[in-house]
Structure 1
């Protein structure tokens, strides 16, 4: 049991470092591309609420997919349980909240804060949205279906960036972070029930 806790804490620390390093990568890429990563980030209570409510469709789809018997879905579920369930199982829920927050912030600053605006400046709004999320999908391509789901989620996050007419990175950050946290909790619940 003690060994599992040590492994989980090590996995958690490495995951946090990796996800956090994406913010550094975003700053460097932003500098190279002349795109300010945090230009579209500002606090707004209404955008915070939009972000929280914007998580609901993704969570409903995620929970629905948990019950589909399709082999490709079951492969993703097993992969997530064996990766995250086994490595994060002994951790407290607050650790999962921290990891989800870091992942949501860092990935959104990189993909929606730098890549999407930069690619929009080269192509157009639609081209930037699609190209940045093709990259997002490739980074998440652990299975072909998972890459497709990441592409669709990325497009949803990219569209949420401009939801109320004024670009605010807070919306996709909140959606991504809350979704990741809820998904971690479901994955751990399923993993613990299985073992």
Structure 2
């Protein structure tokens, strides 16, 4: 896949999730942006939350477990070349779009809607089972994505007041860091 196609697909898919969130929100009576608050403390919590997720990523990335190696190989084979061909601002664009699109759907609409029906813990589990399935590359990757989603769902309320900005920030910052790592690994592998 070339860079132009990748950016177009990312825009259509991740941007489309914003539209899906709005439509689902209208259907279930939830404003997707109701819990979004632009606040400095949310950015600070986002930075701390990103560090936690990056530590988790770093530990997993250094593991030599066969199933994790398969995921790394798959990411390098599918995304390595295209991520390495992107400029930093193109990677930032896709990361922000993914953070906004996915979080507005899963944490802005699905999680609060499910909370209204079944309570906080079942909503956290179910919305992130769906989040994991939306990232179903392999069974282990699905599980890791679901766990990441649960972390993002927990961060939604981390500041004491529900704020969608926190998981959006963490998701975007984490994706950007992961994009840089995959691109660097791809470049390193090609020069070796």
The CA deviation at 1:63 is 1.6
Partner of 1:48: 43
After TM superposition, the structure 1 stretch with the greater mean CA deviation from structure 2, 46-55 or 11-20, is 11-20
C-alpha contact 1:8 1:90 (8 A) present in aligned 2: yes
Paired residues, what number?
190
Q: What are the superposed Cα offsets for residues 44-79 of structure 1, whole Å, 9 maximum, x if unpaired?
A: 001111011110011111122222111100011011
User: For 1:69-119, what per-residue CA distance to the aligned partner results, in whole angstroms no more than 9, with x for missing partners?
Assistant: 111000110111112112222110110001000000110000000000000
Q: Per the alignment, in what secondary structure is the counterpart of residue 42 of structure 1?
A: coil
Structure 1 counterpart of 2:72 = 77
CA-to-partner distance for each residue in 1:7-55, whole Å, 9 max, x for gaps?
2122112112211110000000001111110000010001111011110
- Runs of 4+ in structure 1 off by over 4 angstroms are none
Say if 2:161 is the partner of 1:166: yes
Note if 1:127 corresponds to 2:122: yes
Distance 2:114 2:189 in 1: 43
TM-score (norm. length: structure 2): 0.96
Give the whole-Å Cα distance in 2 for the aligned partners of 1:12 and 1:83.
14
2:17 equivalent in structure 1: 22
* 1:112 is aligned to 2:112: no
- Per-residue deviation, residues 104-156 of structure 1 (Å, max 9, x unmatched): 01100000000000000010011111110010011111111111111111110
CA RMSD after TM alignment: 1.0
Which SS does the other structure have where 2:91 is aligned? Answer: helix
Matched, 1:63 2:58: yes
Three-state SS of the structure 2 residue aligned to 1:66 is: helix
Structure 1 residues 3-14: aligned runs within 5 Å = 7-14=2-9
Aligned equivalent of 1:192, options 171, 187, 190: 187
Q: Name the SS for the 1:89 alignment partner.
A: helix
Cα distance in 2 for residues equivalent to 1:77 and 1:157: 22
